[in-house]
């Protein structure tokens, strides 16, 4: 995937300001890959990595060592104090989806605070699979300036991450948005990324209708999961509607 890597590196160089970029590092494969690509494109001195766990102790040793090995600047901004302020307002704590989305939006505001204060742009870590499925928080992890790996399916992210030297421990761990304890992407989506990417490739890239998709090892119910998700979450990927007035 060397050609893909160079295209992404060129993209980052084209859109990054002279002061550099900031991105949130969660410990997962997507942010680890984007971090490595930003370092290759801009150099370690022009990349700021933000850890935004609930508590400082939630940061794993592997990701801390990986960030340190790249030599980038990093900050740790625990979100629990901010989150608890919201909780005190009521109507939040009893709904885990609302809580998870709130955490994502708090992290977005921290990224843009650092971005504004230092003349940086926010590099997002979303991939093509997540974007097509609407699997992101609107104005949360979806609130970014640029998406360097937004054209890569999750399975392609894994390939490029391995090529870029992202540690196997990070690549192999179950993907999670960290919305609540024990949450994983595949559990919430109801399908593995390997199958999901095959279905999306058939439908989105090849133009095969859902009722015509026939892939070995993939059931009709799994195809319907994808179809339902695309139908139900398309609003996340469309621009905000503006009331157009007649002059």
- Catalytic site residue 197? no
CA distance 129 to 143: 17
- Catalytic site residue 188? no
- Kindly list the domain boundaries of the chain, sorted by start residue: 2-185, 190-240
Question: Which pLDDT tens digit goes with each residue over 26-72?
Answer: 989 999 999 999 999 999 999 999 999 988 777 889 999 999 999 99
Mean pLDDT for the stretch of residues 74-101: 86
| Confidence band for 240, pLDDT divided at 50, 70 and 90 | confident
Which of 54, 130, 145, 197 is flagged as catalytic? 130
CA distance 21 to 115: 8
CA distance 78 to 165: 28
Sheet holding 21-24, edge to edge: 73-76, 47-51, 21-24, 121-122
Question: Which pLDDT tens digit goes with each residue over 166-225?
Answer: 999 999 988 877 667 777 889 889 999 999 999 999 999 999 999 999 999 999 999 999
CA distance 46 to 16: 9
Which of 10, 30, 168, 188 is flagged as catalytic? 30
Tell me the whole-structure pTM to 2 decimals.
0.93
The class of domain 2-185 in CATH terms is alpha beta
CA distance 202 to 87: 43
**Selection from 235, 128, 16, 113 nearest residue 105 by Cα:** 113
Under 8 Å between Cβ of 40 and 148: no
Average pLDDT in the chain: 93
């Amino acid at each position: 995937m060397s050609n893909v890597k160079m295209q992404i590196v060129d993209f980052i160089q084209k859109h990054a300001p002279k002061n550099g970029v900031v991105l949130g590092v969660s410990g997962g494969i997507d942010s680890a890959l984007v971090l490595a690509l930003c370092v290759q494109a801009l150099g370690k001195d022009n990349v700021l990595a933000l850890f935004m766990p609930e508590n400082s102790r939630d940061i794993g040793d592997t990701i801390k060592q990986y960030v340190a090995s790249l030599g980038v600047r990093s900050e740790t901004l625990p979100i629990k104090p901010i989150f608890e302020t919201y909780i005190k307002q009521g109507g939040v704590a009893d709904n885990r989806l609302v809580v998870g989305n709130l955490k994502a939006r708090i992290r977005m505001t921290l990224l843009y605070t650092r971005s504004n204060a230092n003349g940086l742009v926010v590099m997002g870590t979303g991939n093509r699979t997540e974007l097509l499925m609407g699997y992101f928080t609107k104005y949360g992890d979806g609130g970014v300036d640029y998406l360097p790996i937004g054209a890569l399916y999750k399975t392609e992210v894994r390939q490029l991450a391995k090529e870029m030297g992202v540690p196997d421990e990070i690549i192999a761990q179950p993907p999670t948005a960290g919305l609540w304890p024990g949450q994983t992407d595949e559990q919430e989506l109801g399908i593995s990324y390997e199958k999901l990417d095959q279905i999306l490739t058939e439908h989105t890239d090849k133009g095969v209708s859902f009722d015509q998709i026939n892939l070995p090892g993939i059931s009709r119910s799994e195809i319907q999961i994808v179809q339902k998700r695309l139908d139900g979450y398309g609003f996340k990927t469309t621009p905000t509607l503006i009331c157009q007035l007649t002059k």
